[in-house]
């Protein structure tokens, strides 16, 4: 059997309504299923596969660590890959981020970072500071505190009674902002929206502000204006709020520089990373923190109140070390910038398709916003399930993309995300764009017939 679906197997799939091809092998930017069909991995899975599939050096590094020391509990031991990866990440981190706390997912890293921020304020004698502010639209994970901080109403519908309230700050989202990204910029695009919410909430009660430096799937790779993050840094300093940069999706070179914040010349108080730091060869998330925060915890309770069985996991850290080594040896972050320019140049031709409202992004990260009306930027009705149908058509065409929905008004809105491995070739970029063009042309035809 090469296609699997619920309830015909013992797997509880995330999507219980579709068939799944059986993937058996990965080669570079390609995934091959049991029937021999080849899929161009245009989204790196879930923005993860930075170095491509089947890299022998990384597989061997993981295997060697498994033979040597696959696991020790982080409360009893440290290990060489943990120490070496921490030093490597700290060396690349902006500002004074000088300590690394390893976990097993981005969501868990967000939970730990938010808890660290709260614990810090308690340790220094300011327990009133308990609120978290975040952008909307925005996304930080599916564990409960991370979900509470996310600006995705549809994801929260079943769990609202369990979630702590998180005040919302309008995200810099030029395609849907009042200013449309043109001067004079609106409060969402200047950062003034954060100050407005801070004053409404009372800064003395706010512990942290969390946001993605470049929009992820919630705003379709929306890139804030040059003055945005310097303004955020100034406001957080002015009002005594810890700024947490969520670089799980857009960090680790995806935008053509190691950290998207390099282009803005500022650094956060805490940073969370995941996805690309292991290229998918093992699960890993990390909180990067400065000693000025951690010292206060060391002098107080002496321990971060966020424990996990697989914290500081040697095997995952060995995968991270090998992945970063491969990135460096092949200069893939620089290459990501060059291939990103080719990708965005190619995507310009897709804009001719009437359902394409906007194409944006930076490096090897792009978002395509699909709309029912270009003039008004009106989204398709959610019942049309346009993003999901595009993904199905793409799979049929041998192309893997990432869908996102709900960004326009909390429920409606259709985005397609592109984030291939940094190893993608110019020829493969051409194939990606050609297949995407075919998918969107077919989707437009189907929508035209039904209306």
Structure tokens at 169: 């700050």
Q: Which residue has the tokens 């690394």?
A: 100
Residue 410: the pLDDT is 83
**395-417: average pLDDT:** 94
From 88-92, 215-219, 446-450, the region with the lowest mean pLDDT: 446-450
pLDDT over 80 (residue 83):
yes
Distance CA 163, CA 145 (A): 7
289-310 pLDDT, tens digit per residue, is 999 999 999 999 999 999 899 9
Distance CA 426, CA 424 (A): 7
Residue 411: the pLDDT is 86
**388-417: average pLDDT:** 94
Which pLDDT band, with edges at 50, 70 and 90, does 439 fall under? very high
CATH topology of domain 58-329: 3.40.640
Q: What is the DSSP letter of 379?
A: P
CB 417 within 8 A of CB 220: yes
Which pLDDT band, with edges at 50, 70 and 90, does 451 fall under? low
106-146 pLDDT, tens digit per residue, is 999 999 999 999 999 999 999 999 999 999 999 999 999 99
Domain boundaries, the chain: 3-54+331-450, 58-329
CB 66 within 8 A of CB 304: no
CB 260 within 8 A of CB 293: no
Which pLDDT band, with edges at 50, 70 and 90, does 2 fall under? confident
**340-346: average pLDDT:** 98
Is the domain spanning 3-54+331-450 CATH 3.90.1150.10? The answer is yes
46-55 pLDDT, tens digit per residue, is 999 999 999 9
Q: Which residue has the tokens 């609202």?
A: 160
**183-203: average pLDDT:** 96
Distance CA 424, CA 50 (A): 10
- The pTM for the full model equals 0.97
Residue 311: the pLDDT is 96
Which pLDDT band, with edges at 50, 70 and 90, does 408 fall under? confident
């Amino acid at each position: 059997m090469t296609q699997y679906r619920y309830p015909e197997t013992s797997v509880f799939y995330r999507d219980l309504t579709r068939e799944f091809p059986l993937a058996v092998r990965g080669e570079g930017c390609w995934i091959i299923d049991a029937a021999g069909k080849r899929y161009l991995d245009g989204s790196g899975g879930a923005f993860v596969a930075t170095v491509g599939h089947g890299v022998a050096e990384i597989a061997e590094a993981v295997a060697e660590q498994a033979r040597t020391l696959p696991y020790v509990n982080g409360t009893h031991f440290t290990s060489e890959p943990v120490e070496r990866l921490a030093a490597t990440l700290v060396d690349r981190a902006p500002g004074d981020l000088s300590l690394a706390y390893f976990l097993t997912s981005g969501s868990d890293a967000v939970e730990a970072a938010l808890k660290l921020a709260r614990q810090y304020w308690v340790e220094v004698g300011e327990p009133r500071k308990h609120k978290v502010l975040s952008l909307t639209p925005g996304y930080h994970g599916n564990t409960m505190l991370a979900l509470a901080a996310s600006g995705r109403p549809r994801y929260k519908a079943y769990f609202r009674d369990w979630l702590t309230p998180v005040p919302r700050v309008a995200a810099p989202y030029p395609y849907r902002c009042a200013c449309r990204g043109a001067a004079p910029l609106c409060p969402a695009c200047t950062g003034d929206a954060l100050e407005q919410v801070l004053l409404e909430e009372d800064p003395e009660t706010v512990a942290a502000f969390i946001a993605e430096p470049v929009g992820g799937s919630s705003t379709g790779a929306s890139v804030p204006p040059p003055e945005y993050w310097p303004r955020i840094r100034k406001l957080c300093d002015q009002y005594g709020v810890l700024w947490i940069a969520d670089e799980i999706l857009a960090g680790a070179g995806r935008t053509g520089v190691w950290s998207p914040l390099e282009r803005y010349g500022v650094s956060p108080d805490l940073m969370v990373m995941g996805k690309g730091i292991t290229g998918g060869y093992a699960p890993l998330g990390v909180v990067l923190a400065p000693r000025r925060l951690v010292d206060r915890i060391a002098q107080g309770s002496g321990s971060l109140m966020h424990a996990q069985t697989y914290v500081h996991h040697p095997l995952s850290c060995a995968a991270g070390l090998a992945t970063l080594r491969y990135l460096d040896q092949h200069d893939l972050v620089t290459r990501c910038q060059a291939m990103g320019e080719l990708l965005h140049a190619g995507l310009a031709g897709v804009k001719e398709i009437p359902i394409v409202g906007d194409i944006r992004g930076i490096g090897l990260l792009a978002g395509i916003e699909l709309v029912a009306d270009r003039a008004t930027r009106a989204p398709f009705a959610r019942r049309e399930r346009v993003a999901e149908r595009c993904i199905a058509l793409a799979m049929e065409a041998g192309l893997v993309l990432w869908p996102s929905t709900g960004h326009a008004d909390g429920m409606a809105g259709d985005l397609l995300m592109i984030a291939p491995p940094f190893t993608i070739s110019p020829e493969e970029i051409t194939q990606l764009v050609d297949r995407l063009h075919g998918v969107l042309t077919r989707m437009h035809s189907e929508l035209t017939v039904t209306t």
